[in-house]
């Protein structure tokens, strides 16, 4: 199977050439057919005209002998008509005038009466030596004013017309091929010129590197057909630049977050081992190290969870749960933390929810931990669950709200980004890995739901919306347990 060339310019040039060849071939076929029909019609008209002309000449003679004596008068009317055969003979078949340069056999034809006006429809078909179907006619013609008549046979060998049309079609073929070749050449030049903006865009895109992510394609200079593509590429570059910047910040923060507990572990261990210690001091060191180990484990666990979710390797065990029962258990777990921070924790509402139990608890736990850290002493953190009131918005909603400083509006669009840190100073890096809200967003997307945030008038509200029906897992998802 023939493969198309990889060059778009070459493909367009070939398309131009083929389209031109098809058009020229159609025109050539039409012209050839039209010319053939015109030549055939002209020949038929000449055959009828020759019969009438010979009849007219016969009116001027009085006997057959006079025809024999002046045959050139009849022969002259056939001059200039290629392939024309003229025979004038008596009723008994004796030839009086014969014009037959190729000695063709005169076929027996039906003879028209002298009083019948010849027409094209009365022409008859015969075949000369070359086998080309030709046309002819036979009719009687009166001599002078007498009742005596002779037979007129006029034939036209169509071989000349076939040869003429063959040569004509040959010339049309060459003209079509030359026209197609010229069209392909011009098409190549035009296509190459028209695709110049695309090559310029490719060159600009090739210049984009990790150190030049701010480079953008010139949309204004691009043709109308490429502006949408250029705009889409610019949007992609903007997203890449933003993601790369966040990734760089995240890498730096992650390195710092790992370095801090590791530095603490190393420093405390070196100090303790610098001299002999009592057993109680070694136990205190191990307890302190354990806290740092747990923090490192949480960070690694969160990163592994996000990586698995990105590759559809988190298998959900979605079933119908009592949302109020689950929320009460989590509120009971956080009671001690809330009491230490002098914050009240309340749960209200009741509704079933279609969710994975482990992931539901993890998402709500992250939100409660976030709310308790930001709620001022003496305030109340509320957890509300409710069924959607309308069929159009079917599902279950869980809201976690806490009073406290409002989240800046410019921060809200990025708050669920895993590479985004709202606190540039990183004052809370020891208490949080910065991945909690990103995990919440990932869990909701795995369920086919969503998480939104609203922060106005000193109240921040996170809303989890679970769909009424569970979302089917992709076929390629691996059965990796979640924790």
CA angle at 127 for the pair 121 and 128, rounded to the nearest 5° = 125
pLDDT digits (tens, 9 = 90+) for 247-268: 776 677 667 667 777 887 888 8
Give the highest mean pLDDT range of 5-9, 159-163, 399-403.
Answer: 399-403
CATH of 224-307, picked from 1.10.287, 2.40.50, 1.10.238, 3.30.70, is: 1.10.287
- State the chain's mean pLDDT as an integer: 83
Q: Is domain 313-466 given the CATH code 3.30.565.10 in the classification?
A: yes
pLDDT given for residue 479 in this prediction: 40
For residue 394, the Cα-to-chain-centroid distance in whole angstroms is: 35
**Of 269, 304, 276, 259, the residue nearest 290 (C-alpha):** 269
pLDDT digits (tens, 9 = 90+) for 35-68: 999 999 999 999 999 999 999 988 888 888 888 8
pTM of this prediction exceeds 0.85: no
pLDDT digits (tens, 9 = 90+) for 394-443: 789 999 999 988 888 888 887 887 655 555 544 454 455 567 888 898 88
Contacts of 256 (CB under 8 A, 6+ apart): 426, 429
Question: Is there a contact between 11 and 5 (Cβ–Cβ < 8 Å)?
Answer: yes
At 347, is the secondary structure helix, strand, or coil?
A: strand
CA angle at 215 for the pair 213 and 218, rounded to the nearest 5° = 150
């Amino acid at each position: 199977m023939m493969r198309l060339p990889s060059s778009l310019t070459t493909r367009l040039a070939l398309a131009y050439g083929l389209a031109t060849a098809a058009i020229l071939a159609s025109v050539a076929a039409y012209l050839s057919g039209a010319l053939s029909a015109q030549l055939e019609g002209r020949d038929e008209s000449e055959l009828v005209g020759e019969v009438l002309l010979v009849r007219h000449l016969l009116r001027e003679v009085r006997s057959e002998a006079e025809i024999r004596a002046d045959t050139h008068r009849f022969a002259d009317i056939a001059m200039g008509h290629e392939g024309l055969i003229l025979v004038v003979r008596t009723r008994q078949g004796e030839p009086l005038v014969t014009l037959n340069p190729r000695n063709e056999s005169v076929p027996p034809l039906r003879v028209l009466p002298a009083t019948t006006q010849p027409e094209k429809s009365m022409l008859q078909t015969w075949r000369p030596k070359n086998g080309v179907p030709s046309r002819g006619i036979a009719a009687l013609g009166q001599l002078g004013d007498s009742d005596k008549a002779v037979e007129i046979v006029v034939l036209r060998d169509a071989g000349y017309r076939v040869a003429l049309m063959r040569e004509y079609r040959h010339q049309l073929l060459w003209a079509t091929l030359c026209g197609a070749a010229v069209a392909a050449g011009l098409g190549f030049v035009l296509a190459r010129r028209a695709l110049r903006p695309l090559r310029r865009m490719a060159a600009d895109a090739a210049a984009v590197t990790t150190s030049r992510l701010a480079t953008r394609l010139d949309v204004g200079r691009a043709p109308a057909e490429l502006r949408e593509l250029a705009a889409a590429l610019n949007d992609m570059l903007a997203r890449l630049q933003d993601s790369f910047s966040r990734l760089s910040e995240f890498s730096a923060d992650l390195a710092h977050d790992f370095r801090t507990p590791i530095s603490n572990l190393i420093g405390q261990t070196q100090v303790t081992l610098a001299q002999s210690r009592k057993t109680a001091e070694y136990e205190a060191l191990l307890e302190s190290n354990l806290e740092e180990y747990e923090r490192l484990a949480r960070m690694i666990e969160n990163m592994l969870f996000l990586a698995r979710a990105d590759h559809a390797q988190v298998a959900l065990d979605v079933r119908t749960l009592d949302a109020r029962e689950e929320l009460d258990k989590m509120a009971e777990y956080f009671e001690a933390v809330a009491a230490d921070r002098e914050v009240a924790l309340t749960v209200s509402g009741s509704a079933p929810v279609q969710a994975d139990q482990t992931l539901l608890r993890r998402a709500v736990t992250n939100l409660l931990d976030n709310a308790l850290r930001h709620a001022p002493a003496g305030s109340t953190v509320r957890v509300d669950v409710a069924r959607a009131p309308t069929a159009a918005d079917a599902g279950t909603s869980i809201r976690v709200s806490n009073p406290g400083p409002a989240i800046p509006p410019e921060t809200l669009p990025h708050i669920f980004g895993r590479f985004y840190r709202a606190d540039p100073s990183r004052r809370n890096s020891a208490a949080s890995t910065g991945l909690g809200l990103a995990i919440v967003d990932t869990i909701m997307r795995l369920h086919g739901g969503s998480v939104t945030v609203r922060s106005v008038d000193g109240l921040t509200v996170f809303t989890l919306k679970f769909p009424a029906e569970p979302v089917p897992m992709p076929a390629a998802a691996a059965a990796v347990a979640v924790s």
